Amino acid sequence: MLGSDFLSPKTIDVAAKFQVKEGLNYRAGNGCEWYVRVEQATWERLLRYRNRIGTATLDGAIKRMLESIENSPP
């Protein structure tokens, strides 16, 4: 796994200052962000998928995965 895939101590410290709950969170100046909790194995699978398809972000990987599901025949 890449070092950048882990939360840095600074990121953890900033997150601790805000009440972060699962779902939609709004922070002034940053806008809206979604937070979801996943098991470590799921997180690692998502990172491998992102690397395999070549997207730069996890958001891009999730979008591509959902599009492939939506466009596949039933």
Distance from C-alpha of 28 to C-alpha of 19, rounded to nearest angstrom = 13
Show the tokens assigned to 28: 């002034």
Distance from C-alpha of 69 to C-alpha of 74, rounded to nearest angstrom = 9
- Position 15 scores a pLDDT of 54
- Position 1 scores a pLDDT of 43
pLDDT at 72 over 70: yes
pTM assigned to the model: 0.60
Q: CA 53 → CA 3, 14, 46, distances in Å? A: 19, 31, 11
**For the segment 18-60, what is each residue's pLDDT rounded down to a tens digit?**
566 778 777 777 777 778 888 999 999 999 999 999 999 988 9
DSSP characters over 6-38: SPPHHHHHHHHHS---SEEEEETTTEEEEE---
Q: Where are the domains of the chain?
A: 3-71
